[in-house]
Chain A
Amino acid sequence: MIKHHPSEDLLVQHCSASLNASLSLAVSIHLDMCPICQEKVAKIEAANANVVFNDKQVLSPNEDKDNLELLEEFESNVFDLITSDSGIDEVYEVEPVSIKVNAHDYQLPRALTRISHSKFTQVGKIARSRVALDDGALRSSLLHIDAGGEIPEHTHTGFEVTLLLDGEFSDEEGNYVPGDFIWQDGSHLHTPLTKDGCLCFTVVSSALHFNKGFSKLLNPIGNLIY
Protein backbone atom coordinates (compact mmCIF):
# COMPACT_ATOMS: atom_id res chain seq x y z
CA MET A 1 0.00 0.00 0.00
CA ILE A 2 1.16 3.51 -0.80
CA LYS A 3 2.28 5.19 2.43
CA HIS A 4 3.97 8.30 1.14
CA HIS A 5 1.83 10.97 -0.48
CA PRO A 6 2.42 14.52 -1.69
CA SER A 7 1.60 17.02 1.08
CA GLU A 8 -1.76 18.84 1.10
CA ASP A 9 0.10 21.97 0.21
CA LEU A 10 1.66 20.33 -2.82
CA LEU A 11 -1.71 18.99 -3.98
CA VAL A 12 -3.29 22.43 -3.64
CA GLN A 13 -0.52 24.00 -5.68
CA HIS A 14 -0.79 21.22 -8.23
CA CYS A 15 -4.52 21.86 -8.69
CA SER A 16 -4.07 25.56 -9.26
CA ALA A 17 -1.13 25.01 -11.63
CA SER A 18 1.29 26.93 -9.43
CA LEU A 19 3.86 24.13 -9.21
CA ASN A 20 6.77 23.77 -11.59
CA ALA A 21 6.04 21.48 -14.52
CA SER A 22 8.41 18.76 -13.27
CA LEU A 23 6.82 18.63 -9.85
CA SER A 24 3.31 18.66 -11.26
CA LEU A 25 4.33 15.82 -13.54
CA ALA A 26 5.50 13.85 -10.48
CA VAL A 27 2.24 14.58 -8.64
CA SER A 28 0.27 13.59 -11.75
CA ILE A 29 2.04 10.21 -11.96
CA HIS A 30 1.35 9.65 -8.28
CA LEU A 31 -2.34 10.54 -8.77
CA ASP A 32 -2.74 7.92 -11.48
CA MET A 33 -1.59 5.36 -8.92
CA CYS A 34 -3.34 6.71 -5.81
CA PRO A 35 -7.14 6.83 -5.41
CA ILE A 36 -6.83 8.59 -2.03
CA CYS A 37 -5.12 11.61 -3.53
CA GLN A 38 -7.43 11.51 -6.56
CA GLU A 39 -10.33 12.12 -4.22
CA LYS A 40 -8.54 14.97 -2.48
CA VAL A 41 -7.71 16.59 -5.80
CA ALA A 42 -11.31 16.37 -7.00
CA LYS A 43 -12.39 18.26 -3.88
CA ILE A 44 -9.71 20.90 -4.23
CA GLU A 45 -10.59 21.48 -7.89
CA ALA A 46 -14.28 21.81 -7.08
CA ALA A 47 -13.46 24.32 -4.34
CA ASN A 48 -11.19 26.31 -6.67
CA ALA A 49 -13.90 26.33 -9.33
CA ASN A 50 -16.33 27.69 -6.77
CA VAL A 51 -14.06 30.55 -5.90
CA VAL A 52 -13.46 31.53 -9.52
CA PHE A 53 -16.88 30.79 -11.01
CA ASN A 54 -19.50 31.36 -8.35
CA ASP A 55 -22.01 34.12 -8.89
CA LYS A 56 -21.50 35.73 -5.53
CA GLN A 57 -18.69 38.01 -6.49
CA VAL A 58 -19.98 41.50 -6.97
CA LEU A 59 -18.38 43.28 -9.86
CA SER A 60 -17.19 46.77 -9.30
CA PRO A 61 -18.97 49.27 -11.59
CA ASN A 62 -15.79 49.70 -13.53
CA GLU A 63 -15.31 46.00 -14.08
CA ASP A 64 -18.93 45.65 -14.99
CA LYS A 65 -18.56 48.17 -17.78
CA ASP A 66 -15.45 46.39 -18.97
CA ASN A 67 -17.40 43.17 -19.03
CA LEU A 68 -20.11 44.66 -21.15
CA GLU A 69 -17.60 45.90 -23.65
CA LEU A 70 -15.75 42.64 -23.54
CA LEU A 71 -18.90 40.69 -24.25
CA GLU A 72 -20.03 42.99 -27.02
CA GLU A 73 -16.73 42.64 -28.77
CA PHE A 74 -16.73 38.91 -28.23
CA GLU A 75 -20.29 38.41 -29.33
CA SER A 76 -19.43 39.40 -32.85
CA ASN A 77 -15.89 38.09 -33.07
CA VAL A 78 -14.74 35.27 -30.89
CA PHE A 79 -18.13 33.66 -30.49
CA ASP A 80 -18.53 33.41 -34.27
CA LEU A 81 -14.95 32.29 -34.68
CA ILE A 82 -15.32 29.49 -32.14
CA THR A 83 -18.70 28.24 -33.29
CA SER A 84 -18.01 28.53 -37.02
CA ASP A 85 -16.21 25.21 -36.74
CA SER A 86 -18.46 22.50 -35.40
CA GLY A 87 -15.62 19.95 -35.20
CA ILE A 88 -14.58 18.39 -31.91
CA ASP A 89 -11.22 17.58 -30.38
CA GLU A 90 -10.83 13.94 -29.55
CA VAL A 91 -8.72 13.21 -26.52
CA TYR A 92 -5.27 11.98 -27.47
CA GLU A 93 -4.86 8.23 -27.51
CA VAL A 94 -2.55 6.93 -24.84
CA GLU A 95 -0.83 3.89 -26.20
CA PRO A 96 1.16 2.24 -23.41
CA VAL A 97 4.88 2.77 -23.96
CA SER A 98 7.37 0.14 -22.82
CA ILE A 99 11.04 0.75 -22.19
CA LYS A 100 13.82 -1.72 -21.70
CA VAL A 101 16.56 -0.97 -19.19
CA ASN A 102 19.28 -3.56 -18.71
CA ALA A 103 17.04 -6.39 -19.88
CA HIS A 104 14.18 -5.28 -17.61
CA ASP A 105 10.91 -4.28 -19.25
CA TYR A 106 8.94 -1.41 -17.77
CA GLN A 107 5.80 0.38 -18.79
CA LEU A 108 6.09 4.16 -18.68
CA PRO A 109 3.53 6.11 -16.67
CA ARG A 110 0.82 7.70 -18.84
CA ALA A 111 2.03 11.21 -18.07
CA LEU A 112 5.45 10.45 -19.57
CA THR A 113 4.32 8.72 -22.76
CA ARG A 114 4.36 11.86 -24.90
CA ILE A 115 7.40 13.52 -23.33
CA SER A 116 10.69 12.34 -24.71
CA HIS A 117 13.65 11.21 -22.62
CA SER A 118 17.30 10.64 -23.43
CA LYS A 119 19.09 7.32 -23.76
CA PHE A 120 19.99 5.69 -20.45
CA THR A 121 23.53 6.39 -19.24
CA GLN A 122 25.00 3.64 -17.12
CA VAL A 123 27.34 4.09 -14.14
CA GLY A 124 27.75 0.87 -12.19
CA LYS A 125 24.31 -0.37 -11.19
CA ILE A 126 22.72 2.98 -11.81
CA ALA A 127 21.27 4.03 -15.16
CA ARG A 128 19.76 7.43 -15.74
CA SER A 129 17.75 9.01 -18.52
CA ARG A 130 16.99 12.72 -18.54
CA VAL A 131 13.37 13.67 -19.18
CA ALA A 132 13.24 16.36 -21.85
CA LEU A 133 11.41 19.00 -19.89
CA ASP A 134 12.69 22.54 -19.90
CA ASP A 135 11.98 23.64 -16.35
CA GLY A 136 14.59 26.12 -15.13
CA ALA A 137 16.73 24.78 -12.30
CA LEU A 138 14.68 21.60 -11.98
CA ARG A 139 15.77 18.37 -13.57
CA SER A 140 13.64 15.31 -13.99
CA SER A 141 15.01 11.87 -14.70
CA LEU A 142 14.12 8.24 -14.96
CA LEU A 143 16.46 6.43 -12.63
CA HIS A 144 17.01 2.70 -12.82
CA ILE A 145 18.87 0.78 -10.15
CA ASP A 146 19.85 -2.84 -10.71
CA ALA A 147 19.24 -5.47 -8.06
CA GLY A 148 21.55 -4.96 -5.09
CA GLY A 149 22.33 -1.43 -6.15
CA GLU A 150 22.68 1.60 -3.95
CA ILE A 151 23.02 5.30 -4.52
CA PRO A 152 25.95 6.84 -2.67
CA GLU A 153 24.92 8.74 0.44
CA HIS A 154 24.19 12.34 -0.45
CA THR A 155 22.59 15.56 0.67
CA HIS A 156 21.05 18.31 -1.40
CA THR A 157 21.23 22.01 -1.37
CA GLY A 158 17.66 22.07 -2.59
CA PHE A 159 15.07 19.30 -2.56
CA GLU A 160 14.63 15.92 -4.15
CA VAL A 161 11.47 14.11 -5.12
CA THR A 162 11.68 10.38 -5.68
CA LEU A 163 8.63 8.62 -7.04
CA LEU A 164 8.91 4.86 -7.14
CA LEU A 165 7.40 3.63 -10.42
CA ASP A 166 8.22 -0.06 -10.34
CA GLY A 167 10.09 -2.51 -8.08
CA GLU A 168 11.04 -1.66 -4.50
CA PHE A 169 13.73 -0.01 -2.46
CA SER A 170 14.40 0.84 1.12
CA ASP A 171 16.40 3.36 3.06
CA GLU A 172 16.91 4.31 6.69
CA GLU A 173 13.22 5.20 6.91
CA GLY A 174 11.75 1.94 5.70
CA ASN A 175 10.44 0.12 2.62
CA TYR A 176 8.84 1.75 -0.38
CA VAL A 177 6.27 0.46 -2.89
CA PRO A 178 5.32 1.71 -6.37
CA GLY A 179 3.42 5.00 -6.12
CA ASP A 180 5.26 6.17 -3.00
CA PHE A 181 6.07 9.86 -3.34
CA ILE A 182 9.10 10.86 -1.28
CA TRP A 183 9.98 14.49 -0.71
CA GLN A 184 13.33 15.27 0.86
CA ASP A 185 15.02 18.55 1.44
CA GLY A 186 18.56 19.68 2.05
CA SER A 187 18.79 18.65 5.67
CA HIS A 188 18.37 15.04 4.81
CA LEU A 189 20.85 12.21 4.44
CA HIS A 190 19.85 8.96 2.81
CA THR A 191 21.15 5.86 1.11
CA PRO A 192 18.48 4.06 -0.90
CA LEU A 193 19.13 0.38 -1.44
CA THR A 194 17.25 -2.01 -3.72
CA LYS A 195 17.26 -5.80 -3.41
CA ASP A 196 15.39 -6.61 -6.65
CA GLY A 197 15.95 -3.45 -8.68
CA CYS A 198 13.63 -0.53 -9.34
CA LEU A 199 12.64 2.29 -11.66
CA CYS A 200 12.03 5.77 -10.24
CA PHE A 201 11.03 9.19 -11.49
CA THR A 202 13.10 11.85 -9.77
CA VAL A 203 13.06 15.61 -9.63
CA VAL A 204 15.95 17.52 -8.08
CA SER A 205 16.35 21.22 -7.62
CA SER A 206 20.13 21.38 -7.86
CA ALA A 207 23.27 19.27 -7.93
CA LEU A 208 23.88 16.77 -5.18
CA HIS A 209 26.73 16.82 -2.73
CA PHE A 210 28.20 13.46 -1.95
CA ASN A 211 29.57 12.95 1.53
CA LYS A 212 31.61 9.75 1.57
CA GLY A 213 35.26 9.86 0.77
CA PHE A 214 35.51 8.20 -2.60
CA SER A 215 32.24 9.68 -3.80
CA LYS A 216 33.48 13.16 -3.08
CA LEU A 217 36.03 12.73 -5.78
CA LEU A 218 33.25 11.74 -8.07
CA ASN A 219 31.11 14.72 -7.27
CA PRO A 220 30.44 15.30 -10.97
CA ILE A 221 28.64 12.00 -10.82
CA GLY A 222 25.88 13.87 -9.02
CA ASN A 223 25.20 15.77 -12.17
CA LEU A 224 25.26 12.57 -14.11
CA ILE A 225 22.89 10.63 -11.92
CA TYR A 226 20.32 13.27 -11.07
Chain B
Amino acid sequence: MFKEVDFMKRAIFPLPLFILPEGYTRLRIFEPRYLHMVKSALKDNTGFVLCTFEHDTPFNISAQGCLMDVIDFDQDDNGTLLIDVFASQSVQINDVYQDEQELRHGLVSDCNAPYWYKDSNNEIGKHQRLHDSLKDVFSGNPELRVLYKQTHFNRLPWIAARWLELLPISIEKKQQLAFETNFDNLLSFLHTVINNEFA
Protein backbone atom coordinates (compact mmCIF):
# COMPACT_ATOMS: atom_id res chain seq x y z
CA MET B 1 0.00 0.00 0.00
CA PHE B 2 1.10 3.52 -0.68
CA LYS B 3 0.96 6.00 2.07
CA GLU B 4 -1.81 8.53 1.62
CA VAL B 5 -0.33 11.95 1.06
CA ASP B 6 -2.31 15.14 1.47
CA PHE B 7 -1.69 17.59 -1.32
CA MET B 8 -2.57 21.24 -0.98
CA LYS B 9 -2.60 23.76 -3.80
CA ARG B 10 -0.57 26.81 -2.81
CA ALA B 11 0.91 29.90 -4.43
CA ILE B 12 4.70 29.80 -4.57
CA PHE B 13 7.13 32.69 -4.10
CA PRO B 14 10.68 31.84 -5.19
CA LEU B 15 13.29 34.22 -3.78
CA PRO B 16 17.07 34.21 -3.48
CA LEU B 17 16.76 33.44 0.20
CA PHE B 18 17.14 30.46 2.49
CA ILE B 19 14.71 29.60 5.25
CA LEU B 20 14.04 26.50 7.35
CA PRO B 21 11.04 25.45 9.45
CA GLU B 22 10.27 27.74 12.39
CA GLY B 23 12.25 30.56 10.84
CA TYR B 24 10.86 34.08 10.47
CA THR B 25 11.60 36.65 7.80
CA ARG B 26 10.29 39.97 6.59
CA LEU B 27 9.40 40.46 2.94
CA ARG B 28 8.76 43.53 0.87
CA ILE B 29 5.83 42.95 -1.47
CA PHE B 30 5.33 45.27 -4.42
CA GLU B 31 4.74 43.19 -7.55
CA PRO B 32 1.01 42.91 -8.32
CA ARG B 33 1.14 39.13 -8.59
CA TYR B 34 2.63 38.77 -5.13
CA LEU B 35 0.29 41.38 -3.63
CA HIS B 36 -2.48 39.22 -5.01
CA MET B 37 -0.86 36.16 -3.47
CA VAL B 38 -0.67 37.76 -0.01
CA LYS B 39 -4.27 38.95 -0.25
CA SER B 40 -5.64 35.49 -0.94
CA ALA B 41 -3.28 33.86 1.57
CA LEU B 42 -4.81 36.08 4.26
CA LYS B 43 -8.40 35.84 3.02
CA ASP B 44 -8.47 32.05 2.72
CA ASN B 45 -6.09 31.48 5.60
CA THR B 46 -3.91 29.28 3.39
CA GLY B 47 -0.51 30.90 3.65
CA PHE B 48 1.85 30.56 0.71
CA VAL B 49 5.04 28.70 -0.05
CA LEU B 50 8.42 30.38 0.06
CA CYS B 51 11.18 28.54 -1.76
CA THR B 52 14.70 29.22 -2.92
CA PHE B 53 14.99 30.79 -6.34
CA GLU B 54 16.86 28.34 -8.58
CA HIS B 55 18.54 29.31 -11.84
CA ASP B 56 18.17 25.99 -13.55
CA THR B 57 14.83 24.44 -12.67
CA PRO B 58 11.42 24.81 -14.29
CA PHE B 59 9.85 28.08 -13.10
CA ASN B 60 12.92 28.63 -10.91
CA ILE B 61 11.32 26.56 -8.18
CA SER B 62 13.33 24.48 -5.72
CA ALA B 63 12.12 21.00 -4.78
CA GLN B 64 11.67 21.86 -1.14
CA GLY B 65 10.11 24.98 0.35
CA CYS B 66 8.39 26.20 3.48
CA LEU B 67 4.73 26.86 4.02
CA MET B 68 4.57 30.40 5.38
CA ASP B 69 2.01 32.02 7.65
CA VAL B 70 1.64 35.77 7.44
CA ILE B 71 1.85 36.91 11.05
CA ASP B 72 2.21 40.67 10.76
CA PHE B 73 2.25 43.41 8.19
CA ASP B 74 3.30 47.00 7.90
CA GLN B 75 4.15 49.67 5.33
CA ASP B 76 7.47 51.31 4.69
CA ASP B 77 7.82 55.07 4.17
CA ASN B 78 7.00 54.69 0.49
CA GLY B 79 3.82 52.81 1.20
CA THR B 80 5.26 49.46 0.14
CA LEU B 81 3.75 46.47 1.91
CA LEU B 82 6.01 44.70 4.40
CA ILE B 83 4.95 41.32 5.74
CA ASP B 84 6.43 39.22 8.54
CA VAL B 85 6.13 35.53 7.79
CA PHE B 86 6.71 32.36 9.77
CA ALA B 87 7.79 29.02 8.26
CA SER B 88 5.26 26.64 9.74
CA GLN B 89 6.45 23.50 7.99
CA SER B 90 8.73 22.10 5.31
CA VAL B 91 6.97 21.07 2.10
CA GLN B 92 7.75 19.24 -1.10
CA ILE B 93 6.66 21.08 -4.26
CA ASN B 94 5.10 19.30 -7.22
CA ASP B 95 3.26 20.05 -10.46
CA VAL B 96 4.13 23.71 -10.75
CA TYR B 97 2.32 25.94 -13.22
CA GLN B 98 1.97 29.67 -13.82
CA ASP B 99 -1.32 31.50 -13.95
CA GLU B 100 -2.13 34.40 -16.29
CA GLN B 101 -0.46 36.97 -14.01
CA GLU B 102 2.65 34.78 -13.85
CA LEU B 103 2.11 33.75 -10.27
CA ARG B 104 3.34 30.21 -9.71
CA HIS B 105 1.21 27.57 -8.05
CA GLY B 106 1.97 24.01 -7.13
CA LEU B 107 0.73 20.99 -5.23
CA VAL B 108 2.60 20.81 -1.96
CA SER B 109 2.80 18.09 0.64
CA ASP B 110 4.45 17.66 4.02
CA CYS B 111 8.10 16.85 3.81
CA ASN B 112 10.65 15.93 6.44
CA ALA B 113 13.62 17.70 4.81
CA PRO B 114 15.91 18.55 6.41
CA TYR B 115 15.48 15.20 8.08
CA TRP B 116 17.61 16.21 11.11
CA TYR B 117 15.26 19.00 12.07
CA LYS B 118 12.65 16.75 13.65
CA ASP B 119 14.66 13.57 14.17
CA SER B 120 17.69 14.79 16.07
CA ASN B 121 18.19 14.95 19.79
CA ASN B 122 17.19 18.30 21.23
CA GLU B 123 19.91 18.21 23.93
CA ILE B 124 22.34 21.12 23.72
CA GLY B 125 25.05 19.06 25.46
CA LYS B 126 28.54 19.94 24.28
CA HIS B 127 27.17 22.52 21.85
CA GLN B 128 26.65 25.21 24.47
CA ARG B 129 28.85 27.60 22.49
CA LEU B 130 26.46 27.51 19.51
CA HIS B 131 23.61 28.30 21.87
CA ASP B 132 25.41 31.17 23.58
CA SER B 133 26.64 32.81 20.41
CA LEU B 134 23.18 32.67 18.80
CA LYS B 135 21.72 34.25 21.94
CA ASP B 136 24.31 37.03 21.56
CA VAL B 137 23.26 37.55 17.94
CA PHE B 138 19.63 37.90 18.96
CA SER B 139 20.35 40.27 21.79
CA GLY B 140 22.59 42.34 19.53
CA ASN B 141 19.96 42.64 16.77
CA PRO B 142 16.68 44.26 17.75
CA GLU B 143 15.28 43.45 14.29
CA LEU B 144 15.65 39.74 14.92
CA ARG B 145 14.07 40.04 18.35
CA VAL B 146 11.09 41.91 16.87
CA LEU B 147 10.74 39.38 14.08
CA TYR B 148 10.92 36.24 16.21
CA LYS B 149 7.66 35.89 18.13
CA GLN B 150 8.84 32.52 19.37
CA THR B 151 12.34 31.21 20.05
CA HIS B 152 13.47 27.71 21.04
CA PHE B 153 16.95 28.13 22.43
CA ASN B 154 16.49 24.86 24.30
CA ARG B 155 16.46 22.82 21.06
CA LEU B 156 19.72 22.12 19.24
CA PRO B 157 18.20 21.66 15.74
CA TRP B 158 16.42 25.00 16.06
CA ILE B 159 19.74 26.66 16.94
CA ALA B 160 21.51 25.02 14.01
CA ALA B 161 18.75 26.01 11.60
CA ARG B 162 18.86 29.67 12.67
CA TRP B 163 22.67 29.79 12.40
CA LEU B 164 22.49 28.29 8.92
CA GLU B 165 20.00 30.96 7.85
CA LEU B 166 22.20 33.74 9.21
CA LEU B 167 25.67 32.71 8.03
CA PRO B 168 27.28 34.70 5.19
CA ILE B 169 27.70 31.79 2.76
CA SER B 170 25.99 31.18 -0.56
CA ILE B 171 22.48 29.78 -0.66
CA GLU B 172 23.83 26.82 -2.59
CA LYS B 173 26.16 25.99 0.31
CA LYS B 174 23.34 26.36 2.80
CA GLN B 175 21.24 23.93 0.80
CA GLN B 176 24.11 21.47 0.67
CA LEU B 177 24.62 21.73 4.42
CA ALA B 178 20.92 21.43 5.18
CA PHE B 179 19.90 18.71 2.77
CA GLU B 180 22.91 16.79 1.57
CA THR B 181 24.97 16.20 4.64
CA ASN B 182 24.22 14.82 8.09
CA PHE B 183 23.63 16.68 11.33
CA ASP B 184 27.12 15.99 12.69
CA ASN B 185 28.70 17.53 9.62
CA LEU B 186 26.49 20.58 9.94
CA LEU B 187 27.36 21.03 13.63
CA SER B 188 31.03 20.60 12.89
CA PHE B 189 30.75 23.24 10.16
CA LEU B 190 29.09 25.68 12.56
CA HIS B 191 31.74 25.08 15.22
CA THR B 192 34.53 25.77 12.72
CA VAL B 193 33.01 29.09 11.72
CA ILE B 194 31.75 30.25 15.09
CA ASN B 195 34.38 29.21 17.61
CA ASN B 196 37.17 28.02 15.40
CA GLU B 197 36.89 24.48 16.73
CA PHE B 198 38.02 21.60 14.63
CA ALA B 199 35.54 19.12 16.07
Contact = CB atoms under 8 A, between A and B. Distances in A.
User: Do A and B come into direct contact in the complex, CB within 8 Å?
Assistant: yes
A75 B60 contact: no
Nearest to A79: B170
Interface string A69-80: 001000100000
B56 interface: yes
B170 A75 contact: yes
Interface of A: 55, 58-59, 71, 75
A181 B129 CA distance: 72
A58 B172 CA distance: 18
B138 to A, nearest CB: 27
B149 interface: no
B36 to A, nearest CB: 24
Nearest to B169: A75
Nearest to B172: A71
A55 B55 contact: yes
Interface in B84-136: none
A55 B60 contact: yes
Contacts of A59: 56
Interface residues of B, number: 5
7 contacts: A55-B55, A55-B56, A55-B60, A58-B56, A59-B56, A71-B172, A75-B170
A55 B55 CA distance: 6
Contacts of B55: 55
Instruction: Kindly name the residue among B55, B56, B60, B172 whose own CB sees the greatest number of chain A CB atoms within 10 A.
Output: B56
Interface in B48-107: 55-56, 60
Nearest to B54: A55
A58 B170 CA distance: 22
Contacts of A71: 172
Going nearest first, the 4 A-B pairs with the smallest beta carbon separation are: A55-B55, A75-B170, A55-B56, A59-B56
Nearest to B173: A75
Contacts of B60: 55
A84 to B, nearest CB: 15
A74 to B, nearest CB: 11
Contacts of A75: 170
B160 to A, nearest CB: 22
A79 to B, nearest CB: 10
A120 B10 CA distance: 73
Contacts of B56: 55, 58-59
A55 B56 CA distance: 7
Contacts of A58: 56
A100 to B, nearest CB: 53
A58 B55 CA distance: 11
A53 B88 CA distance: 36
Nearest to B57: A55
A71 B169 CA distance: 13
A71 B170 CA distance: 10
